Amino acid sequence: MEIKLVLGDITRLTDVDAIVNAANNSLLGGGGVDGAIHRAAGPELLEECRTLNGCATGEAKTTKAYNLPCRYVIHTVGPIWHGGSSNEASLLADCYRNSLIEAQKNGARRVAFPSISTGVYGYPVDKAAEVAIKTVKDVLRSMSSSFDLIEWCLFDNRTYNAYETVLKG
């Protein structure tokens, strides 16, 4: 079981079975990584998302990946940062935990995450990296036999460095 960080575009990954989308409650597409995933997957992804009736913050739902090189997209909805006293950390932890549960259900043993909530949703990246890595390590204590690779695909150096600091620390 390997945990790694890569710098780049999550839609280009060829070494995973599932990528996680930082979606919004509607699941009907948006900007950032969500927009990139819908563009790369093609319009059938939106068609399938329309059947899911949205997704609550912290929950996760799985679709096929259509034109993406992986098999599944796991859509999760991160919390919007409101200063840190609105349950943001536990909702962000829920995203990682529920995404891994979805991956396990679908037999996806190699999974890539983006930096959930740290774009438009404004979660400070250092704090988000702590929650992300701690939660994944916690979940893997009971589910490690279900996975071969968990990676974060980070889009810019500042984000990469924040996750690297936590992972190496």
Q: Which residues bind ligand ADP (CB under 6 A)?
A: 9-11, 22, 32-34, 36, 78, 114-121, 153, 155-156, 159
Q: How far apart are CA 27 and CA 138, in angstroms?
A: 27
Give min distance, CB of 117 to ligand ADP, in A: 4
Burial of 29 (0-12, 13-18, 19+ CB in 10 A): middle
64-88 burial, b if ≥16 CB within 10 A, otherwise e? ebbebebbbbbbbbbbebeeeeeeb
Which residue's CB is nearer to ligand ADP, number 27 or number 146?
Answer: 27
Give min distance, CB of 118 to ligand ADP, in A: 5
Which residue's CB is nearer to ligand ADP, number 103 or number 116?
Answer: 116
Which residue's CB is nearer to ligand ADP, number 96 or number 121?
Answer: 121
Give min distance, CB of 137 to ligand ADP, in A: 21
Which among 20, 22, 26 has a CA at the least distance from the CA of 35? 22
Token pair recorded at residue 110: 């190699």
Give min distance, CB of 62 to ligand ADP, in A: 18
Which residue's CB is nearer to ligand ADP, number 63 or number 114?
Answer: 114
